[in-house]
Amino acid sequence: MVRTPRYFALLLLMVAVVLSSTAQAASLPDFRELAKNAGAAVVNISTEKTVQAPENPFGDMLRNAPQGTPFDRFFEQFERFHGKMRPQKQRSLGSGFILSADGYIVTNNHVIADADVIHVNIENETGKSASYDAKVIGTDEETDLALLKIDAKRQLPVLRFGDSDSLEVGEWLMAIGNPFGLDHSVTAGILSAKGRDIRSGPFDNFLQTDASINPGNSGGPLINMKGEVIGINTAIVASGQGIGFAIPSNMAARIIDQLKSDKKVRRGWIGVTIQDVDENTARALGLGEPRGALVGSVMPGEPADKAGIKAGDILLKVEGEDIADSGRLLRRVAALKPGETAKITLWRNGQTKTVNLTLGERTAEHLAAQGGTPRQTPESKQQASSSLGLTVRPPNAEEARALKLDRPQGLLVIAVEEGRPAADADIRAGDVVLSANLHPVNSTADLAKVVQEDAKRRGAVMLQIQRRGQTFFRTIPIEAEK
């Protein structure tokens, strides 16, 4: 057999492919030891709670009716719509992990919410499971965290929190839990993203991973290659695959420490409404680049009001830490304790200013939304702003009362032209324009002056809007003068 140069070239190519595959396989992480060591501290959580279910008056007739027959369907419908209510046990499953050798356990609040009985099942070295009754030490609904305690009468294996802030997208991660009730299932993937806001709560700042997370994984740990908990699995996208979310460990550790010491979470509060700063708003206020959190309104008598913070200020730093957006401000302030003094750096009238503020405490009463529906009545002296696409006029006394204004002030929006800048900025008929680029506007001439003399020079106008009792800002781009 004659071996041609083509033969040797093909042989070399095959060897290269084999060597490349071998090297690639060798570079993949090995999760065996990690799963074995970490898995010992992961627990199964089962709960029972009593719910009210309909009771069918036909009793045994329903239970004995042949399935699939008209009688069976009739009695089923009767029970559903006409039955009496009776107590019924409802069971659910979730996951958790042991945080201390004396039996403190971390899980999600939604796993144990309203439960009458909570059982924690721990697997020992021999693979056998022992069940313990758990006591709720504390819960935090806003971050979906809960701390439990069991008395195992022995030293338990534990997991430690790692530093979620130091994580980088692309790092290998491992999730352990009880998806669909299947104990100690291990999945692996990478960190897909950080800082995800999925609109589940005010402090959304989730880690996103493609490690498989399913119902029953809730409360279980997301672990880095050092065996540290860097996240607590809490949410999934029902319509997607490879998209799971975990509470960052740095946030969770602070909450759990408070639950352990105080059995509840106390959060700082400054008393403002806030929104993000976009490019147009930054341009209108001469800030340069979008950053910080824009103050929409200041609540009278609250800490921000006492410290001299005003609507239209942009909060740039808290205790020297840069604030990228409104979400970051909310989390940073909430992480501070009520009664502490915080140093806040803000932007006002083209300059930075620092104020010292004594924090209040965030409560449910503070978060109650304000209501009110504006009424519109005919009025003369209205004017259209052609550059913005708005028709506005001063409100009368009756309208001011309906709009929850302290007095007749600002400009009532009568109409918004479709496809024009104001419509694109979500300005609506019934809104009240209180200021433009932080200049009060109580007449159409006031608004026209700001647009002509200030907004066209800056390339944008920032309108302070009051809508149904809430105050915020909307920024409209304007072609700058050259």
DSSP per-residue string spanning 398-461:
HHHHHTT-SSS-SEEEEEE-TTSHHHHTT--TT-EEEEETTEE--SHHHHHHHIIIIIHHHTEE
Which has more confidence, 27 or 344? 344
- Taking the C-alpha atoms of 35, 36, 40 and 43 in order, what is their torsion angle to the nearest 10 degrees? 30
* Whether residues 357 and 280 fall in one domain: yes
Q: What is the mean pLDDT of the chain?
A: 83
CATH number of the domain that residue 172 is part of? 2.40.10.10
Together in a domain, 357 and 427: no
- Cβ–Cβ under 8 Å, residues 231 and 164: yes
pLDDT 10s digits, 150-194: 998 889 999 999 999 999 999 999 999 988 778 788 999 999 999
* Contact in structure between 281 and 272 (CB atoms under 8 Å): no
Q: Is 236 annotated as a binding residue?
A: yes
Of residues 21 and 144, more confidence is placed in 144
Q: Is 217 annotated as a binding residue?
A: yes
331 in any annotated domain: yes
Do residues 143 and 46 both lie within one domain?
yes
Residues 53-71 pLDDT 10s: 555 555 555 455 555 555 4
Among 329, 361, 393, the domain-final residue is 361
The CATH number of residue 320's host domain is 2.30.42.10
Q: Are 42 and 94 in contact (CB under 8 A)?
A: no
- Answer whether residue 105 is part of any domain: yes
Q: Is the pLDDT assigned to residue 6 strictly greater than 50?
A: yes
pLDDT mean over 448-466: 88
Query: Does residue 452 lie in a domain region?
Result: yes
- The predicted pLDDT at position 138 comes to 95
Q: Is residue 248 in a domain?
A: yes
**Together in a domain, 106 and 192:** no
Q: Tell me whether residue 13 is in a domain.
A: no
CA distances from 471 to 1, 181, 192, 295, 434 (A): 88, 47, 36, 9, 9
CA distances from 283 to 352, 354, 420, 422 (A): 16, 22, 20, 17
Q: Which of 225, 245, 262 is the last residue of a domain?
A: 262
In a domain, 6, yes or no: no
- Determine whether the annotation assigns residue 119 to a binding site: no
Q: Are 309 and 250 part of one and the same domain?
A: no
**Maximum C-alpha span of the chain:** 106
Q: Where are the alpha helices (DSSP H) in 181-335?
A: 249-262, 279-284, 303-306, 326-334
Q: Token pair for residue 25?
A: 């396989």
The answer to whether the annotation marks 21 as part of a ligand binding site is no
> Residue 14: inside a domain, yes or no?
no
Q: What does the block give as tokens for 47?
A: 């709960």
**Domain range for residue 53?**
38-149
Contact 97, 42 (CB under 8 A): yes
Instruction: Indicate whether 43 and 132 sit together in one domain.
Output: yes
Per mean pLDDT, which range of 24-33, 98-107, 305-314 is the poorest?
Answer: 24-33
Residues 255 and 281 in one domain: no
Active-site residue numbers? 110, 144, 218
Total-model pTM: 0.68
Is the CB of residue 282 less than 8 Å from the CB of residue 289?
yes
Structural domains in the chain (count): 4
Q: Does 371 fall in a domain?
A: no
Q: Which of 3-12, 38-47, 79-88, 175-184 is most confident? A: 38-47
Task: Using alpha carbons, select from 122, 71, 61, 117 the residue that is nearest to residue 90.
Answer: 117
pLDDT at 22 over 70: no
406 and 424 part of one domain: yes
Is the domain of 191 the same as that of 278?
no
* Domain endpoint, select from 237, 262, 287: 262
For residues 195 and 213, membership in a common domain is answered with yes
CA angle, corner 168, sides to 167 and 171, nearest 5?
Answer: 90
> For 368-407, what is each residue's pLDDT tens digit?
433 333 333 333 344 545 578 888 888 877 677 778 787 8
Q: Which residues contact 140 (CB under 8 A, 6 or more apart)?
A: 109, 146, 255, 259, 264, 265
The answer on 249 and 287 residing in a single domain is no
**Annotation-wise, does 418 bind a ligand?**
no
- Give the rounded percent of residues in the chain with a pLDDT score beyond 90: 47
- The answer to whether 235 is a known ligand-binding residue is yes
**Pair (51, 135) in one structural domain:** yes
User: Taking the chain, what is the end-to-end CA distance rounded to the nearest angstrom?
Assistant: 82
216 annotated as belonging to a binding site for a ligand: yes
The response to whether 234 counts as a known ligand-binding position is yes
List the structure tokens of 313: 């200020």
